[in-house]
Amino acid sequence: MAGGEDNTASGNRSFVGGGEDNIASGTTSTIAGGCCSKTCRNFSFVGGGFKNEASGETTTIGGGLCNTTIGNYPTIAGGFSSRAVGLSFIGGGYTNITSSSAAFVGSGCFNIASGIQSSIVGGFKNVASGIQSSIVGGLSSIASGNKSFVGGGCHNTASADSATVAGGILNIASGYQSFIGGGQGNTASANRTTVAGGAGNTASSNCATVAGGQLNIASGNQSTIAGGLSSIASGNCSFVGGGRCNSASGDISFIGGGNNNTAAGNNSTITGGFSSKASGGNSFIGGGCSNVASGSRSVIAGGYLNKATTTDVFVGGGQNNIACGTCSVVAGGQLNIASGQRSVVGGGHLNTASAGNSLVAGGGYNIACGGSSTVTGGFSSLASGNGSIVGGNCNIASGLRSTVGGGGLNIASGNN
């Protein structure tokens, strides 16, 4: 005993360097100084401080107040009211706990590292309970999965093996190898899912990704939402680029942006626009509003309230046009209908091509209802004969391969 007051060195080869009311009762134990500290087991050490207790073998307390080491080989460098159990380390801080082999707390307050080889660098009220789990800092976060990681932020949870939350608030990474970069209230709940940021986003199927935005859900395998608000990518390998309230529910479906669009067919695409639906397989809508492409390989380039309802049909644009015959085309205009197989309406309004290979080039109120018939334009003309051709106004070509070139109120009813 080197000095001090009311110190006791009762263990074999024990030593008290100074201070007051210290007790070194373990064999080869040491108290360098301080007040009211104890070394109770063999090879234990207290460097100084107040009311520190080294009760395990080969334990070390560097200093601080009211720190306790329990079991073999724990270390507390300093701080206040911390407890290290077993082969673990606490660097400092307030009321920190290490309770498993090779656990580490660097500093901070009320942190608990209870998993084997778990670590908490700092922060407040963090818990690392998984094997090799880590928390760098922040507030009230939990890393409970094996090899899980929380970088910082507040009230974040990494609960699956190899899950990561880099930061943010109230984020949960509960899928294996899931990742959340930041933001608020995000969830990555399936294997290898990613939420890069934003608020209230969910990636809930394997390898799904939400890059940002708010209230988006990527629930299909390998689905992606780049951003926007309240969109859903539920088809496998589906994609939503942005916008609002969009839904890509078909496998390999794509929505570039816009609002309230639905890509429900497999391999369907909507590049933008508003309130459109591509429900046919391999269907496409380029833009516009309230368009419906329900046929397989159907295409609507744009416009308003257009419909492409059967296989391999095309609507170029315009308003209220319908292409419902196989391989039919409505290039544009208003209220036009191409219902015959391989029929075409080039434009105009209220035109109808209802027979196979029929054509209405334009104009208004024209009808091509004969097979391979043609209306070149004009107004209120009718080509009802097979192979017939009519132009002008209020003309009728009803004979086989009959022709009315123009004028008005003409009728060609004879064949050829």
DSSP string computed for 2-68: -S-BS-EE-STT-EE-S-BS-EE-STT-EE-S-BS-EE-STT-EE-S-BS-EE-STT-EE-S-BS-E
Reported as type and span, the H/E element at residue 318 is none
Secondary structure string (H, E, C) spanning 93-126: CECCEECCCCCEECCCECCEECCCCCEECCCECC
Instruction: Find residue 300's DSSP bridge partners.
Output: 285, 315
Which residue type does 207 have? C
Q: How high is the pLDDT of residue 313? A: 98
CA distance 351 to 331: 12
Residue type, 156: N
Element (H, E) at 365: none
Three-class SS of residue 239? Answer: strand
H/E element holding 309? none
- Count Cβ atoms within 10 A of the Cβ of residue 72 and give its class: 0-12 exposed, 13-18 middle, 19 or more buried: middle
In DSSP terms, which residues pair with 113 in a beta bridge?
A: 98, 128
Q: In residues, how long is the chain?
A: 416
Tell me the whole-structure pTM to 2 decimals.
0.91
Angstrom distances, CA of residue 238 to CA of 197, 224, 309: 19, 6, 23
Per-residue pLDDT of the chain (416 residues), as tens digits, is 556 788 888 989 999 988 999 999 999 999 999 999 999 889 999 999 999 999 988 999 999 999 999 999 999 999 999 999 999 999 999 999 999 999 999 999 999 999 999 999 999 999 999 999 999 999 999 999 999 999 999 999 999 999 999 999 999 999 999 999 999 999 999 999 999 999 999 999 999 999 999 999 999 999 999 999 999 999 999 999 999 999 999 999 999 999 999 999 999 999 999 999 999 999 999 999 999 999 999 999 999 999 999 999 999 999 999 999 999 999 999 999 999 999 999 999 999 999 999 999 999 999 999 999 999 999 999 999 999 999 999 999 999 999 999 999 999 887 76
pLDDT at 3: 65
For tokens 């080491």, name the residue: 69
pLDDT of residue 56: 85
Q: Which residues pair with 392 in a beta bridge?
A: none
d(CA 293, CA 260): 15
pLDDT in the model for residue 415: 77
Distance of CA 200 to the CA centre of its chain: 10
Structure tokens at 30: 């040491």
What domains, with CATH codes, occur in the chain?
1-90 (2.150.10), 96-200 (2.150.10.10), 318-416 (2.150.10.10)
Instruction: Specify burial of residue 80 (Cβ count, 10 A radius: 0-12, 13-18, 19+).
Output: middle
